[in-house]
Structures are given as C-alpha cells and as structure tokens.
Structure 1
C-alpha cells in the first residue's frame, strides 16, 4: 500500500467498484431486455396460436355464408390464411413490430385506432376502481389485523369473502337493478347520456381520453357530472372486488409485522400505539403490498370484460368481446396484445417500486 493509499483509502476502492459495477449494471440491463423480449415473443406466439385453434372462421365473417367457393378461396388468400403457419407467424410478428395490428372487420378501421379509442375508457375505470380498493382495503386490513379475532375483524373478513364469492356480472346486474332501476341514485349503462355525448364530441378537447379529466380541463361541468354519475357504479363494483383482495393481503402482511420484535420494542419504549401500527408496521407491510396493488390494477385492466359488458362500458374489454363474437381476430389479437403488454409493464413497475421502497432488494 502506498502513502497515497493510506491518506485516501477510499480512492482505490471507488475505482475498483466503478470498474466492476458498470459491467454488472450492463449485465442486469441486458438480462432484463432479454427476458422482456422472450416474454413478449411468448405472448405473440400464444395469441397467434389461440387465434388459429378457435373454432371460428374469420373468412366467413368477411365474405358471409352465402359466398361461393371461389370467393371464399380468394378472400382466404387475400388474408394470408392459405400460407403455412410459420410464414403467417413471421409476417404477424413483423406487422406487430411495425405497429400494424391489421384492420378490424367489425369497424372497418385500423385496430390500433380502435384500441386508441377504447383503451382510455378501460384505463379510467380500472384506475378509479383501484383507488377505491386501496382507500378502503388498506385501512380495513389494518383494522382487521389490529382487532384479530374480534368483531371488527370478523366483519371485514366476511365482507372480503363476499367480494371473492359473488360473480362480478351478477353483482353488476344487481347493482344496476337497485341503484339505477329502483333508487335512481346513479346513471345507467354507458359512459355518457346521449345528449351529453354530443356535447362531449363537439366541445371537449381530447387530451387524455378520460371523459372525467378532459371535461374538467375543458370546463364542461355538465359532461363532468354526467360522466361521474355513469362511472360510479361500475367503478364501485370493480373497486369492491379490488378492496376484498387488498384488505385480505394487508391483514396478512400486518399480522406478520405486528408479531415482529421491533414492534414489541417500540411498545416497550412507549411509542404511541397508532404510530406503531400506522407508521412502523404499515410502513414495512407496504413493501410487499405495493406488488399486490400493482398486480390488482393489472388484473382489473385485463379482467374488466364482464363488467364492461354488463354496464355497456365502451372499453377494451367490450371491444374484444364484440370482436370475438364477430370472429374479428385482428381486433381480438390486438386487444389481447395490449392487455398482455400492460401486464408485463406493470409487473416491471412493481419490481422497480419494490427496490425503491426496500433498499435490501437492490
């Protein structure tokens, strides 16, 4: 060791760390990009194969069942379905990479344009439902854990169990019957009333695709209130299911944290109970809970098909359902790819947030 090393021992260590740390970061980045590419490739392959094994004929959906055999063969050739499956898959991947998801037979528009119109509605609904689930589920889970075995815990567990047990389409129909049909507290199916839809189309600038946000930014308060009246019921139904899941996981994580030694030590030192529970225990429980919330959000994005169908919500789930009934496979595959890609992105986001909240995971 030289005198310079003795005077400044941190210098050589920094140099050694920098020379070895950079390849390690690059290796992790390369591994992440590779795993992401493999996942997306698997998603493309699965969606492509599902479209080919579904017992629906997309050619008949285009030409109709009264077309001649010559017309059928011509349409099949024009759609590229007469080629070998590997060739079709390579062409399909090439189109997706360039952003071409084909043209919808149902709307006669490019699928990317249809998805651009439908996805904001699904995003709006799932986001509001997740906010409801988080705001109600986390406090409910904490209260249940603190009162383990007592009546508040039993009530919260029963409410959560009902949320898991009842089918979402049945709950949506019952909610429509009671709150819209009988009580008249909320608006009916759809995103807007017909009259407000015209106002929205003519006077509201499309900035985000969310009717609530865009109408508020444009000052169209009648449209804003009408949009809230329509979204509160489907968002509440989905939010209830999200709350049931989040409260259950929060309770489980909190029970684990409340049994740790640091909680006992904080109580012995005289730390107020509310601070022990809501700051220390919940702060540590939030580390795995972030992943639960993000995955719940992803599940609402991909699992709101029945809710959108019941409430006639013009989102991506309803679009995929209608396309499937019409054997519009370009639209079905395009919507499935978008939902799958969102799920992958949200999984990545949960991993990033996990490492930010918990330094031990870095």
Structure 2
C-alpha cells in the first residue's frame, strides 16, 4: 500500500508539472500571437497611411526638377509600379530583415540613424522618469495620507500646473533663467563643443561615458546639459504619477483593513506605506511604465527646444521633410517600445502581486 501510494503521489506531481508547463506554453503562444498581430497591424497602418499622404517618394528622392525618364526609372526602381498587395508583401519582407531603407534627410540607413539617436532619448527619458518617480510617488502617497491639508492642495496645484503649462514654454523660460541669466547649467545640446573630443562614446549614454573617464569637469558639463530638459520631462511624469498614486491610495485608505490595522495599534505611517501602498504597487508600476514609454516617444518639443540630438527630434525632421522611410522606422520602434513595456509590466505584476502567478 505504501509503494502504491508513493507511486500515485509521484504520478500526481508529474501530472501537475505537465499541466503547469502546458499552461505556460499556451500563455507564451498566446502572447507571441498577440505581439505578432499587433506589429502586423502597425506595419499595415504605417504602410497604407504612407500611401494616402500627398507625398511623392520619387520627387522626394530626385527632387522637383527631375526629368520624365528619370522619374519613370525611379518609380519602377522603388517598386511603385507593382500592385499594392505586392508592394505591401515586399515591405513586410524588408521589415522582417530590419531594413527600412535609407533616410532621405541623412542618406544613411534608417536603422543606423535610429541606433545613433535613440541612446540620447533613452538617457534623457531615464533621468526624467527617475525624477518623476522619485518625487511623484511620495508626493501622491503623502497627499492621500493628509487629504485636505495644505500639502494636499500644493500637490494638486502642482499637478494642475504641470498639465496646463506648455512644456516648450517651460524649456524656454528655464534656458533664459538658469542658462542665459544665472549660468547654472549648460546650454542646448548634450555637451559643450570644448569637451566633445574628451568624451569617448562607449555606451551612448553621456553621463555613464563621462563617469567612466574619471574627468569631473567633463561629467559636470554633461550633467549640466541634461539636468534642465530631464527636469522638465520629469515634471511632466511627476504630475501624472502623483495624481494617479493619490487616487489609488485614497481608495485603499477607505478600506476596512486600514481601520483594522489602526485599531490593532499600527502607526499611521506603517499602515499606509507597508499595507496600503503594497496593494496599489501593481497599479503604480503600470502608471510609471506607461509614463516612461510616453517620455521615450513624446519628447519631441523638449528635444527641439534644447537642440537635443535624440529620437524625437529625428522623427520631427523626418516628418517635416516627408521622409517616409524614417517615419515608418520610428513608428515601428515606438510600437515595439510600448509592447515591450507592457510585457515587462506583466512580469512585474507577478513580482508585486503573488495572486497573478
């Protein structure tokens, strides 16, 4: 009987593992199909919108003074004489090979341009989200803790100010005050020209590269250039993160378990930060992740004001020039960013909330 029970127990455990593996495989397969369908839809959207825009890619390549023979030859070379379905098939084939063609504005492959400019935006957005998260989450929690207090009114007013104030205006005023008048920070760009030869680009992140050189003056110059645009973008993220965190916490602080914890003698701070905040951690992670994604693709005006050679400025120049190769490449990258961040959020849910495992 003992051997039979042991065999049955091992078979039961094996069956449980097989069911878990099958469930994991189904989940992975569903996620892969969902990601592929999303990217396919994004590719189709960019392709057909590109054909609906009143832009002639042949004129964009050859210029308005091209001869008729040159126009016809380029029209055929670009495959525009083929049926639309065939053009879309060729287009998908190039995308799967990470080939978006050459950018008309630079003459280089679009992938090369994106690899060159994206680290600047990634660095700027990363510093901004650290500022927005480091201030926004505590501000939102404290605002909910002391609801109706002067601190709560200040946090809500700052949030309203962040939503209503144009970011390009904040950038211009910041440059006028802190750079032109007080001289506390660096000017537009990522680094002064006098330090460009001293910085060896290793990672593409100037703060890290400057720190690796051990040159304090160089690091100070790089930090002086990034601090203002990152603070303005961080202020944007801060207002959203603090507002949403406050809303989540107010809902949790009205639950019965909070009253029970206080009756048992737990301090107000411990009840809020240990118990209530734990229950909103998943929601806060989602807000922070989406804020980071929007910073990566929405820093256009800030990069323009500060002459920041990043992804947003590159996309803006491509749109103004009618460079559809660059626009399509940037659009696909934005889609991949949002999909990737959503996947990371799902993984973080399992860390912060064991019920989702």
Q: Normalising by the residue count of structure 2, what TM-score does the alignment of the two structures yield?
A: 0.95
Q: Give yes or no for the alignment of 1:160 onto 2:159.
A: yes
Q: Provide the rounded CA distance (Å) in 2 between the counterparts of 1:187 and 1:137.
A: 26
Tell me: CA distance 1:169–1:195, structure 2 relative to 1, closer, same or farther (3 Å). Answer: same
Q: Provide the rounded CA distance (Å) in 2 between the counterparts of 1:12 and 1:268.
A: 48
Q: Following TM superposition, by how much is the alpha carbon of 1:19 offset from its aligned partner in structure 2, in angstroms?
A: 3.0
Question: Which deviations, in whole Å up to 9, do the C-alpha atoms of 1:268-326 show, x marking residues without a partner?
Answer: 11112221112221122212111110111001111111111111110011111111222
Q: Provide the rounded CA distance (Å) in 2 between the counterparts of 1:107 and 1:196.
A: 25
Question: Which deviations, in whole Å up to 9, do the C-alpha atoms of 1:157-207 show, x marking residues without a partner?
Answer: 01001111122222222222222222222111111111112322xxx1x33
Q: Which residue of 1 aligns with 2:238?
A: 243
Q: Following TM superposition, by how much is the alpha carbon of 1:95 offset from its aligned partner in structure 2, in angstroms?
A: 0.8
Tell me: CA distance 1:189–1:24, structure 2 relative to 1, closer, same or farther (3 Å). Answer: same
Q: Which residue of 2 aligns with 1:48?
A: 47
What SS does structure 1 have at the residue aligned with 2:108? coil
Question: Which deviations, in whole Å up to 9, do the C-alpha atoms of 1:116-146 show, x marking residues without a partner?
Answer: 1100001001101100000110111011101
Tell me: CA distance 1:6–1:41, structure 2 relative to 1, closer, same or farther (3 Å). Answer: same
Q: Provide the rounded CA distance (Å) in 1 between the counterparts of 2:163 and 2:4.
A: 64
What SS does structure 1 have at the residue aligned with 2:64? coil
Q: Provide the rounded CA distance (Å) in 2 between the counterparts of 1:223 and 1:324.
A: 34
1:211 corresponds to which of 206, 227, 241: 206
Map of 1:276-315 to 2, 5 A cutoff?
276-315=271-310
How many residue pairs get aligned? The number is 357
Q: Give yes or no for the alignment of 1:329 onto 2:324.
A: yes
Q: Give yes or no for the alignment of 1:233 onto 2:205.
A: no
What SS does structure 1 have at the residue aligned with 2:265? coil
Map of 1:245-264 to 2, 5 A cutoff?
245-264=240-259
What SS does structure 2 have at the residue aligned with 1:62? helix
Q: Which residue of 2 aligns with 1:21?
A: 20
Q: Following TM superposition, by how much is the alpha carbon of 1:79 offset from its aligned partner in structure 2, in angstroms?
A: 2.1
Q: Which residue of 2 aligns with 1:69?
A: 68
Alignment check: 8 A CA contact 1:5 1:11 kept: no
Tell me: CA distance 1:354–1:232, structure 2 relative to 1, closer, same or farther (3 Å). Answer: same
RMSD of aligned alpha carbons: 1.7
Q: Provide the rounded CA distance (Å) in 1 between the counterparts of 2:193 and 2:356.
A: 51
What SS does structure 2 have at the residue aligned with 1:87? helix
What SS does structure 1 have at the residue aligned with 2:66? coil
Alignment check: 8 A CA contact 1:43 1:340 kept: yes
Structure 2 regions of 5+ residues with no counterpart?
none
Q: Following TM superposition, by how much is the alpha carbon of 1:5 offset from its aligned partner in structure 2, in angstroms?
A: 5.5
Question: Which deviations, in whole Å up to 9, do the C-alpha atoms of 1:20-54 show, x marking residues without a partner?
Answer: 22222211111111111101111111111222222
Q: Following TM superposition, by how much is the alpha carbon of 1:85 offset from its aligned partner in structure 2, in angstroms?
A: 1.9
Q: Following TM superposition, by how much is the alpha carbon of 1:10 offset from its aligned partner in structure 2, in angstroms?
A: 4.4
Q: Provide the rounded CA distance (Å) in 1 between the counterparts of 2:4 and 2:145.
A: 55
Q: Which residue of 1 aligns with 2:93?
A: 94
Tell me: CA distance 1:8–1:149, structure 2 relative to 1, closer, same or farther (3 Å). Answer: farther
Structure 1 regions of 5+ residues with no counterpart?
none
Question: Which deviations, in whole Å up to 9, do the C-alpha atoms of 1:248-267 show, x marking residues without a partner?
Answer: 01101111121122221211
Q: Following TM superposition, by how much is the alpha carbon of 1:352 offset from its aligned partner in structure 2, in angstroms?
A: 1.0
Q: Following TM superposition, by how much is the alpha carbon of 1:7 offset from its aligned partner in structure 2, in angstroms?
A: 6.3
Q: Following TM superposition, by how much is the alpha carbon of 1:245 offset from its aligned partner in structure 2, in angstroms?
A: 0.3
Q: Provide the rounded CA distance (Å) in 1 between the counterparts of 2:351 and 2:140.
A: 23
Q: Which residue of 2 aligns with 1:316?
A: 311
Q: Give yes or no for the alignment of 1:11 onto 2:10.
A: yes
Q: Normalising by the residue count of structure 1, what TM-score does the alignment of the two structures yield?
A: 0.94
Alignment check: 8 A CA contact 1:196 1:222 kept: no
